[in-house]
Amino acid sequence: MVDVSDKPVSRRQAVATGTISLGDQVFPLLAAGLLKKGDALATARLAAIMAVKNTATLIPLCHPLPLTGIEVDFALDDSRQAVDITVRVNTLAPTGVEMEALTGVAVAALTIYDMCKAVARDMSIGQIRLVEKTGGKSGDYRAPSQLTGM
């Protein structure tokens, strides 16, 4: 692991996004809350939070961090029959939380897939990316708008 003991503690935030495309069989069921396994978005929210909190056990050489906040948001897009996932993570630490935000998005998408796979398996997960990070020595970063869709 990289030694961060000489780095100052600072307020850091990372925002990551991703998408799961569901298709015309699954999307209406998820949107109406009619999946047999239950509320996929509530389950995915909890899974994302758990993943963020456990990133250091999932990603080798990732530092365990004291997290100060986790937000998980979903936006259903009828035209694309997709769910857009956004995870925002905050900390006061000597290193950033980009991996935590990215891991949260990935696990949320995988959880939605798991909750929906009994209906159809042709779902697609993609476009997982860091869209913003603030704090730390390297300064702030914001992905170009053409990449983020924002």
Structure tokens at 23: 């298709």
CA distances for 72 relative to 24, 48, 102, 136, angstroms = 24, 7, 12, 23
Structure tokens at 73: 């948001």
Cα 128 to chain centroid, rounded: 8
The CA distance from 120 to 99, in Å, is 30
Q: Residue 52 carries which DSSP code?
A: H
Nearest CA-CA partner of 83 in 145, 13, 28: 28
Using DSSP's 3-state secondary structure scheme, residue 4 falls into coil
Active site residue 114: yes
Residue owning tokens 């869709």: 149
**Active-site residue identified among 3, 77, 114, 122:** 114
User: What positions carry a catalytic annotation?
Assistant: 114
